[in-house]
Amino acid sequence: MDQFTLARNPVYPGVSGPLLLVILDGVGLYRGRAEGYPANAVDLANTPVLDRLIKTAPVRLELAAHGPAVGMPGADDMGNSEVGHNAIGAGRVFAQGAKLVADAIASGAMFRSEAWLELVEQVSRPGATYHLIGLLSDGNVHSHIDHLEAMVRRLARDGVRRIRIHALADGRDVDPVTFDRYLERLEAVLGEVRAVGCDAAVASGGGRMTITMDRYNANWEMVRRGWETHVHGAGRGFLSAGEAVATLRRENPGVIDQDLPPFVVHDPDGRPIGTIEDGDSVVFFNFRGDRAIEISLAFTSDELDRFDRGRRPEVRYAGMMEYDGDLKVPARYLVAPPAIERTVSEYLVHNGVTQLATAETQKFGHVTYFWNGNNSGKFDPALEDWIEVPSDVIPFEKAPAMKAREVCAVVETALAEGRHRFLRVNFANGDMVGHTGVLEAAIEAMEVVDECLGRIERAVARTGSTMIVTADHGNLDMMLEVDSKTGKIKLDRDGAPVVKTSHTLSPVPWLLVGRDAELFRPNPDVERPGLGNIAATLLLLLGFEAPPDYLPPLVVPAG
């Protein structure tokens, strides 16, 4: 018996039909203090299927999907799709990127790492530059400004004489119009190091949904624009990042930070101040992997043919972390990622269980890469089918249905064919449309997801399947910001409600329906159910005993 052989459950032999896990990305259950809260798209939408299941499913639970429940440092740290799918697929909670990086900085381990020392040594010659590219905010989902500030200060202490920041505007994991505040904070730190002889400045930037941070090969044009902006200094020039942001907002009324056009900072003679040249060092300081892989490949891959890179500088490049543990991208990184192994799918293939994973492009990596512990390959191609539905390249608020109906059709067909014992599907709408901050689009997105949930429920009934409905974190449930102290809706300087584009701290639903669902009850030994408890639950429903270090299942047989 090898380490992956699972014992059969002595009490329950497993559901007789397929087991389907449906992840409604970004659909939380807001339980805040704002009386008469007017911007909960989940509640405002016409969702007869979800409403009925929440009231009548044989097992109905609410799961923690943020903070320590998914490996984030504190209770005020929102969850996200990456850590959520890690926790669901791994059956345990691992310290995630934000905490790992913060600990490595606090202990000094980052600055003693081989990669850090190599990059500092690379720019010891006169005129060489240390470049830092990444998301400038304290959203703590992809990056944190604290990490960047610590790196800038340490570089100056280590004798680096020239630093350039290529700052991506957030407005997605934080309030939508706040980039200028983060730039002001960063400029204060840059002023500190300039005072000790380090030439440090912001060299370029733009909105995270406009340049650089594409994922899952959805829109390489974003990466190309980022490359041209950061590397070549090609683009509209301004004398400072502050001037750029003020001008671009004035010229694009209503634009939020994530959609800001790219900009380049020029000197008074009109020359870009921070092109990336041979002999420089470059760090992408995001810790989260999905939106860091493509720009990393642009710097490191000899075979990349997604766009014409033109002049490709010879640099030493590192990621804040290793962004793909299977493909080893990038080869050099500052902080080791969590070592997530023995995920539920790895156990299942070793025990002969056929599986299907499907989603549209925007979330395909979440039901594959993140689900498998940050590994992009299948454990057994003979037993696993992965079906990606290509996402459209269009602003999500313009097409809130996205590809939900097409993804739904994949699930219906798969259930009818009956080749897969376990199926998992992610509907991206709640998260991707929620991030736009457009309430009307969010409501429509939720209604389309509910329509698909109804179609899948009928397919589950036709095929004698069992279905779990859950989510990875909240988003749609709060489309306006609420002050955590007063419980009232936040207002901006003009007295208008502040649009919320980030995730929430809400719990998420967990519903068990279909064949055999009535045979189970909530597990009384699980006091604080969270996403990490789902994997052991899947194994129980499939007739296996979970590994001893997995978190316990959410349910137990009712008999």
Distances (CA, A) of 400 to 281, 445, 495, 508: 41, 5, 28, 21
* Distance, CA of 224 to CA of 47 (rounded, Å): 40
* Distance, CA of 502 to CA of 138 (rounded, Å): 12
3-state secondary structure 449-509: HHHHHHHHHHHHHHHCCEEEEECCCECCCCCECECCCCCCECECCCCCECECCCCECCCEE
Distances (CA, A) of 287 to 173, 340, 413: 14, 16, 37
* Distance, CA of 297 to CA of 215 (rounded, Å): 12
Buried/exposed 505-528: b ≥16 CB within 10 Å, e otherwise: bbbbbbbbbbbbbebbebbeebee
* Distance, CA of 478 to CA of 534 (rounded, Å): 25
* Distance, CA of 437 to CA of 475 (rounded, Å): 10
Joined tokens for residue 395: 């602003």
Joined tokens for residue 51: 């409403």
Angle at 466 between CA 464 and CA 428, to 5 degrees: 120
* Distance, CA of 201 to CA of 265 (rounded, Å): 9
Using a 10 angstrom Cβ sphere, with 0-12 exposed, 13-18 middle and 19 or more buried, the burial of residue 68 is: middle
Q: Which of 471, 371, 317, 290 is nearest to 91 (CA)?
A: 371
Q: Which of 283, 54, 41, 327 is nearest to 152 (CA)?
A: 283
Q: In what order do the strands lie in the sheet with 281-284?
A: 237-238, 263-265, 199-207, 162-169, 130-135, 281-284, 316-321, 333-335
Distances (CA, A) of 101 to 88, 97, 259, 282: 22, 6, 27, 18
Joined tokens for residue 17: 């039909």
Annotation marks residue 81 as catalytic: yes
* Distance, CA of 477 to CA of 445 (rounded, Å): 12
Q: Are strands 333-335 and 355-360 parallel, antiparallel or unpaired?
A: unpaired
**Element holding 283 (H helix, E strand):** strand 281-284
Instruction: Evaluate the CA torsion angle 224, 230, 236, 242 in order and state its sign.
Output: positive
**Element holding 356 (H helix, E strand):** strand 355-360
**Chain centroid to CA 155:** 28
* Distance, CA of 469 to CA of 512 (rounded, Å): 7
List, in sequence order, every residue forming a beta bridge with 282; answer none if it has no partner: 131, 317
- The catalytic residues are 81
